[in-house]
Structure 1
Amino acid sequence: MTVVAFLSVAPVREGSMAADVADAVDALEAFDVEYETTPMGTVVETDDVGELMDAVEAAHRAVDADRVSTFLKIDDKRTATSSAADKVERVEAHLGREARSGSE
């Protein structure tokens, strides 16, 4: 896959946002994307930037709130195919360990 993105969708309000974030993540299921949710956002991968944008719009619209904040960062490497996992593996190769604390 060549398009890797970081997506964060959340309502702007006080209190837990977990249910709203779950709605945004669930909306991604309707699209030809792979994703992994982290505590700060969701990494999304696809071969097509158009598919990504459609998925982002659906995730944004899935949050039912008066105000919704969506952050999107896209890495569209057009000359090579590299997954998010590949990118992490290259960093880990330089570290000589997993890219997380407490790893051995």
Structure 2
Amino acid sequence: MTATAFLSVSPRVEGSMAPEIAKAVDALEEFDIEYETTPMGTILEASEVGELFAAAEAAHEAVDGHRVGTFLKIDDKRTVEEAAERKVEKVEEHLGREAKSQGGRNQ
């Protein structure tokens, strides 16, 4: 089984959230999961759904602030073993290119 998730922890703080988000990301190191942080949240990958819940709870608890919002979206593939990276590769195969901009506004 492969379970992937999108985790977003949003502390209410003055100024930049980066120091608190770093605490949340660091808390993930205690778990047997793969993760990749993006500008909007963190992609998690584990062999069991319970690992995702535990990691998300730890990330949530690691953040200081008088209010913290946490969003966790899970994709639990129960009959197929497929890495998160493979999901992107399949989309790219259909696109015939990488699944990201080829230039545009950022040039």
TM-score normalised according to structure 1 size? 0.94
Structure 2's unaligned 5+ residue stretches are none
Where does residue 9 of structure 2 map in the other structure? 9
Letter in structure 1 aligned against 2:42:
T
- Tell me by how many angstroms 1:14 deviates: 4.3
Structure 1's unaligned 5+ residue stretches are none
Where does residue 38 of structure 1 map in the other structure? 38
CA–CA distance in structure 2, aligned partners of residues 83 and 102 of structure 1: 25
| RMSD of Structure 2 on Structure 1 (CA) | 1.2
Letter in structure 2 aligned against 1:11:
P
CA–CA distance in structure 2, aligned partners of residues 28 and 10 of structure 1: 16
Where does residue 62 of structure 1 map in the other structure? 62
Percent identity reads 67
**Number of positions where the alignment pairs a residue of Structure 1 with one of Structure 2:** 103
Which deviations, in whole Å up to 9, do the C-alpha atoms of 1:26-49 show, x marking residues without a partner?
000000000000000000000011
CA–CA distance in structure 1, aligned partners of residues 13 and 24 of structure 2: 16
